[in-house]
Structure 1
Amino acid sequence: MHWSQVHRHPSTAHRRVIALSDDADPDALSATYRDSVLRITIQRRASSQPRRIDIH
């Protein structure tokens, strides 16, 4: 699975392709761009999250 993003600047265009692991949820991606920093949040699929088992 790959995620692709194109950033356009008035004088240039940049493209970055990132390979995601199989447990990444492509429908749960979010990105923000603030103060020249691109922050990408990638959630894991619910089925790949570790389970917590309470022991009493």
Structure 2
Amino acid sequence: MNEVSGDRVSAAKGIQYVGINEVIATSGVAKRTLYRWLPSKDKLIEEVTTHRATV
């Protein structure tokens, strides 16, 4: 998965306003793949936050 997709979308709109379908469309991965790696929105937020901290 494109690791900056969630970050890019959330930065533009705010994570609370981003739907999972928008993350999927931006990342180009299948919904099933996304849920395999990020089983919840909380996990997505955690990963985005971690990514931002390392950039």
Query: Shorter-chain TM-score category?
Result: under 0.3
- TM-score scaled by length of structure 1: 0.20
- TM-score scaled by length of structure 2: 0.21
Kindly indicate which of the two structures has a greater share of residues assigned to strand: 1
Question: If you compute each CA radius of gyration, which structure gives the higher value, 1 or 2?
Answer: 1
Greater RCO, CA 8 A, separation 6+: 2
